[in-house]
C-alpha cells in the first residue's frame, strides 16, 4: 500500500487503509523473472497531477534504458461527476503547453471524460493525462516509475517541465483506445505491441488461450480463483505459470507482456 496526498482514508472492500494514512495505490510487485508489467489499484479523493510518461525509444535514447511507460485503466468505481483527463481538446504546441502548465490552465485544456464502472482507457506514452477525484481503478502498466509532472495543483512536489515538454504530445486521445466493457462476456482490451490484457468471463476460449502462452498475471474481479491450488481473491493479483494452472470462476483480468 502506497500513501499519497490524493489518496483515501477509507478504501472500498476488500481493502482497508491503515489508521491515519491516505492510501492512493496498491501495488503488486512483480518477481524479477516477470518484471515487465506492474498491476496497481488506484483510489483518489483528490485529483492527481497532470503528467506524462516517455516511451521506450525516448528513454533508450536518453541513456535511461528501457523505461518507457504505457498504461491502461479499468474504472471499477466512480463517484458522481468523476472524470479522467486524457489528451487535449484541441492541438496545442510546446510553448503554449509550457505556459499553461506554469499558470495552471493546462487542467482546463485537457479533454475530460466522465467515467463510470466498466470504462476502459489505454494511455500511450507521450499522452498528457490526469486522474480526477472520486475514482477507483485498476491500472496495468509497463513497469517503469518515470513520471514527468507538469502541474500539481500547488502541492509542494517537484515538477518536470523540461523533461515533460520534450516528450508530451499536444493532441487529442484516439477514440479507438477507449471503450465500455460490458458487464458480462469476455473481451480483448489490449493486444500489443507492449502487452496483452483480456477481461474474461469464466475460462478463456481456445483462441484467447492460444494468445497467452507461458506465465500470465491473474486479477480476479468478483470471485476467488485458484492457481495451482492456491486461492487468489478479488483485490489480489496472482502469477500463473500458464493458463492451465488456473481454475477460473467468473470475471477476471489476465495480462502478459507481448
Q: Give CA–CA dist 168/257, Å, rounded.
A: 24
pLDDT of residue 32: 83
pLDDT in tens, 53-110: 999 999 999 999 999 999 999 999 999 999 999 999 999 999 999 999 999 999 999 9
State whether the Cα torsion 182-187-191-196 is positive or negative: positive
70, 125 contact by CB (below 8 A): yes
Q: Which DSSP state fits 18?
A: P
Can you read off the three cell numbers belonging to residue 130? 490526469
- The 10 Å Cβ neighbour count of residue 3 is 13
> Average pLDDT in the 16-43 region?
93
- Provide the 3-class DSSP secondary structure of residue 219: strand
Smallest CA-to-CA distance from 175 within 213, 122, 136, 130 is with 122
Asked whether residue 216 carries a pLDDT value surpassing 90, the answer given is: yes
Residue 25 pLDDT grade (very low, low, confident, very high; cuts 50, 70, 90):
very high
pLDDT band for 33, please (50, 70, 90 cuts). Answer: confident
Q: Quick one: which of 243, 80, 232, 49 has its CA closest to 150? A: 49
Average pLDDT over residues 215-244: 96
Strand ranges (E), the chain: 2-8, 23-28, 37-43, 50-52, 71-78, 83-88, 110-114, 119-123, 129-131, 135-142, 148-151, 178-180, 187-191, 195-201, 216-220, 225-227, 230-232, 238-240, 246-247, 251-257
Predicted pLDDT at 225: 96
Three-class SS state of 96: helix
Q: Which domains does the chain have, with CATH numbers?
A: 2-180 (2.60.120.10), 187-257 (no CATH)
pLDDT at 29: 86
pLDDT at 31 > cutoff 90:
no
Looking at the annotation, which residues are catalytic? Answer: 149
Q: What is the mean pLDDT of residues 199-220?
A: 96
What are φ and ψ of residue 163, in 5° steps? -65, -40
**Would you state the pLDDT for residue 143?**
95
What is the average pLDDT score of the chain?
A: 96
Which pLDDT value is given to residue 164? Answer: 97
Q: How many residues does the chain have?
A: 258
Residues 116-171 have pLDDT tens digits of 999 999 999 999 999 999 999 999 999 998 999 999 998 989 999 999 999 999 99
Amino acid at each position: 500500500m502506497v500513501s499519497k496526498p490524493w489518496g483515501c482514508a477509507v478504501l472500498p472492500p476488500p481493502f482497508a487503509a491503515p489508521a491515519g494514512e491516505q492510501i492512493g495505490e496498491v501495488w503488486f510487485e512483480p518477481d524479477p523473472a516477470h518484471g515487465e508489467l506492474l498491476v496497481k489499484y488506484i483510489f483518489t479523493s483528490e485529483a492527481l497531477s497532470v503528467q506524462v510518461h516517455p516511451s521506450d525509444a525516448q528513454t533508450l535514447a536518453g541513456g535511461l534504458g528501457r523505461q518507457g511507460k504505457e498504461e491502461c485503466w479499468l474504472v471499477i468505481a466512480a463517484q458522481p461527476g468523476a472524470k479522467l483527463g486524457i489528451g487535449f481538446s484541441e492541438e496545442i504546441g510546446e510553448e503554449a503547453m509550457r505556459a499553461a502548465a506554469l499558470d495552471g490552465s493546462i487542467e482546463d485544456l485537457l479533454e475530460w471524460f466522465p467515467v463510470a464502472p466498466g470504462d476502459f482507457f489505454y494511455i500511450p506514452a507521450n499522452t498528457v493525462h490526469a486522474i480526477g477525484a472520486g475514482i477507483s481503478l485498476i491500472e496495468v502498466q509497463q513497469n517503469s516509475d518515470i513520471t514527468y509532472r507538469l502541474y500539481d495543483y500547488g502541492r509542494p512536489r517537484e515538477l518536470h517541465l523540461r523533461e515533460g515538454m520534450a516528450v508530451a504530445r499536444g493532441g487529442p486521445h484516439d477514440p479507438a483506445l477507449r471503450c465500455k466493457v460490458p458487464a458480462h462476456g469476455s473481451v480483448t482490451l489490449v493486444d500489443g505491441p507492449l502487452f496483452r490484457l483480456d477481461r474474461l468471463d469464466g475460462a478463456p476460449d481456445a483462441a484467447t488461450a492460444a494468445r497467452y502462452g507461458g506465465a500470465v498475471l491473474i486479477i480476479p474481479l468478483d470471485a476467488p480463483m485458484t492457481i495451482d491450488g492456491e486461492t487468489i481473491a478479488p483485490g489480489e493479483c496472482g502469477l500463473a505459470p500458464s493458463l492451465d494452472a488456473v481454475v477460473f470462476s467468473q470475471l477476471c483480468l489476465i495480462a502478459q507482456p507481448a
